[in-house]
């Protein structure tokens, strides 16, 4: 087995050593450079990695630069951003080599395109901004969401670009689905769902009380009704198990006037009691379109809780009774922990509601 592990290690080690060269032979010059530099960080004297880096680097830079230039010369959508991505790859190779002394001995002057990227950013910002305007003109929620990210991208390329922040806010406003919720309580206020609604962080979805919606005067798309239905605990169910126990214990005895150790058989009895109680509570969630009253969701969520208590009654020689039972022989009959069961049921139902609404409003 040790020999097998040794040969596996040698195989993996060999692959790692030649990974840059293999990538180069496949024509993956960019990957070959990264793998070679990584290998040289671990083993600065690796001749295979040095050779792979020396051969692959100029080819990688030439390929990426030609791709950037042909993209700029084309009519492709988002061509400025695409060209930036090619130049960013060249810069990544530059940074990797600059931070590896062994790689820097092979490629003494790695190429950078930081100046070119700085020039392209403004053009890429205009490109994204104009695409955002086109997306807004779709007059749809999906178009507004698309526009939001395009305006965000434009602002990242050229911070402070005129009107871009305002347009991003407008796109977010148009993209946001607004939900007004109300809560009704029947028979028991065992749980409050409102904190879950307020804590949900869903993109382009906002929950309001009716007062908040009226104050903001925002268009409402959905109504959400929370109905807190009953909570109840079942009757306790108790089971008992009778056991006879026998064991041998070491005791002191006097034999022929001498004190000696000897084993003695002992017996005892135990009755083990187990009491179980379960509880459950139900919450109903109904979601409708505000404009048409069309029902979109109508689910009942059941939260459950459970409690178990044990005690025992023992007789005979307790030395024969297992310690786990002996420990509870003198305990009184426990009473159900109502608060713990309520807490379990509450946590259970709230988690279900959170997951369900997150899934329902997921983009």
pLDDT digits (tens, 9 = 90+) for 119-168: 999 999 999 999 999 999 999 999 999 999 999 999 999 998 999 999 99
Nearest to 97 by CA among 112, 83, 87, 85: 112
Tokens linked to 16: 């790692």
Cβ atoms of 297 and 333 within 8 Å: the answer is no
Instruction: Answer yes or no: is 257 within a domain.
Output: yes
Strand ranges for the chain from DSSP E: 177-185, 205-208, 222-233, 237-255, 258-289, 295-316
- Structure-block tokens of residue 132: 């955002």
Is 6 a residue whose pLDDT tops 60?
no
Average model confidence (pLDDT) for the chain?
Answer: 92
How crowded is the C-beta side of 250, counted as CA atoms within 13 Å?
A: 3
- Residue bearing tokens 């931070």: 99
Cβ-proximal residues to 92 (8 Å cutoff; 6+ apart), any chain: none
pTM across the whole model: 0.78
Instruction: Give the end of a domain, one of 112, 134, 161.
Output: 112
Same structural domain, 234 and 257? yes
pLDDT: is 126 or 20 the higher one?
126
Q: Is residue 33 part of a domain?
A: yes
pLDDT exceeds cutoff 80 at 15: no
3-state secondary structure at position 269: strand
- How many CB atoms within 10 Å of residue 106? 19
307 & 224 share domain: yes
Note whether 90 and 103 are same-domain residues: yes
Which pLDDT score is estimated for 14? 45
For residues 123, 125, 126 and 130, what is the CA-based torsion angle, rounded to 10 degrees?
Answer: 140
What's the pLDDT tens digit per position in 172-225?
999 999 999 999 998 889 999 999 999 999 999 999 999 999 999 989 999 999
The secondary structure of residue 62, as a DSSP letter, is H
Looking at the structure, do residues 166 and 102 belong to the same domain, yes or no? no
- 1-10, 16-25, 81-90, 336-345: least confidently modelled range: 1-10
Same domain (yes/no): 169, 180 = no
Structural domain for 152, as ranges: 122-175
* Same structural domain, 198 and 334: yes
Q: Are 176 and 213 in contact (CB under 8 A)?
A: no
The DSSP call for residue 160 is T
Mean pLDDT of 59-67: 97
Q: Is residue 162 located within the same domain as residue 56?
A: no
Q: Read off the pLDDT of residues 85-112 as tens digits, 9 standing for 90 and up.
A: 999 999 999 999 999 999 999 999 999 9
Task: Report the first-to-last Cα separation within the chain, whole angstroms.
Answer: 52
Distance CA 111, CA 72 (A): 20
In a domain, 296, yes or no: yes
CB 244 within 8 A of CB 199: no
Instruction: Characterise 241 by phi-psi region: left (phi > 0), alpha (psi -120 to 50), beta (else).
Output: beta
Q: Is the pLDDT of residue 256 over 90?
A: no
Separation between Cα atoms, residue 145 and residue 177, nearest integer Å: 11
Last residue of a domain, one of 131, 148, 175: 175
Residues 145, 85: one domain? no
In 3D space, the residue among 125, 133, 178, 181 whose CA is nearest the CA of residue 156 turns out to be 125
Shared domain check, 144 and 189: no
Query: Residue 19 has what pLDDT?
Result: 55
R_g of the chain computed on alpha carbons? 36
Q: Is residue 272 part of a domain?
A: yes
Lowest-confidence pick of 77-81, 94-98, 139-143, 252-256: 252-256
CA–CA gap between residue 176 and residue 9 (Å, rounded): 55
Cβ proximity of 43 and 101 under 8 Å: no
Q: Residues 308, 359: one domain? A: yes
pLDDT of residue 261: 83
Domain count, the chain: 3
Q: Same domain for 166 and 287?
A: no
10 located within any domain = no
Q: How far apart are CA 96 and CA 30, in angstroms?
A: 12
């Amino acid at each position: 087995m040790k020999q097998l592990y040794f040969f596996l290690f040698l195989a993996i080690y060999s692959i790692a050593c030649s990974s840059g060269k293999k990538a180069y032979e496949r024509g993956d010059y960019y990957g070959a450079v990264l793998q070679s530099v990584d290998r040289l960080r671990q083993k600065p004297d690796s001749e295979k990695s040095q050779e792979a880096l020396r051969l692959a680097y100029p080819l990688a830079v030439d390929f990426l630069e030609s791709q950037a230039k042909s993209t700029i010369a084309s009519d492709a959508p988002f061509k400025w951003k695409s060209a930036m991505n090619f130049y960013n790859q060249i810069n990544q190779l530059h940074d990797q080599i600059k931070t590896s002394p062994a790689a820097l001995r092979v490629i003494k002057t790695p190429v950078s395109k930081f100046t070119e990227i700085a020039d392209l950013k403004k053009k890429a910002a205009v490109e994204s901004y104009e695409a955002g305007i086109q997306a807004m003109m779709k007059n749809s929620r999906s178009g507004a969401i698309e526009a939001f990210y395009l305006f965000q991208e434009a602002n990242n390329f050229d911070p402070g670009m005129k009107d871009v922040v305002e347009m991003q806010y407008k796109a977010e406003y148009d993209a946001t689905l607004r939900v007004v919720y109300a809560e009704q309580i029947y028979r028991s206020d065992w749980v409050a769902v409102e904190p879950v609604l307020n804590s949900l962080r869903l993109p382009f979805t906002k929950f309001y009380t009716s007062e908040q919606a009226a104050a903001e005067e925002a268009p409402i798309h959905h109504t959400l009704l929370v109905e807190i239905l009953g909570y109840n605990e079942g009757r306790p169910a108790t089971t008992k198990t009778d056991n006879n126990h026998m064991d041998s214990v070491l005791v002191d005895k006097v034999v022929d006037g001498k004190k000696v150790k000897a084993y003695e058989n002992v017996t005892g009895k135990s009755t083990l009691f187990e009491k179980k109680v379960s509880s459950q509570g139900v919450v109903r969630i109904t979601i409708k379109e505000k404009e048409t009253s069309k029902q979109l969701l109508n689910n009942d969520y059941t939260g459950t809780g459970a409690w178990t208590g044990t005690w025992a009654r023992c007789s005979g020689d307790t030395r024969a009774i297992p310690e786990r039972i002996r420990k509870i022989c003198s305990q009184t009959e426990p009473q159900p922990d109502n608060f713990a069961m309520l807490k379990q049921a509450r946590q259970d139902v709230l988690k279900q509601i959170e997951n369900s609404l997150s899934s329902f409003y997921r983009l």
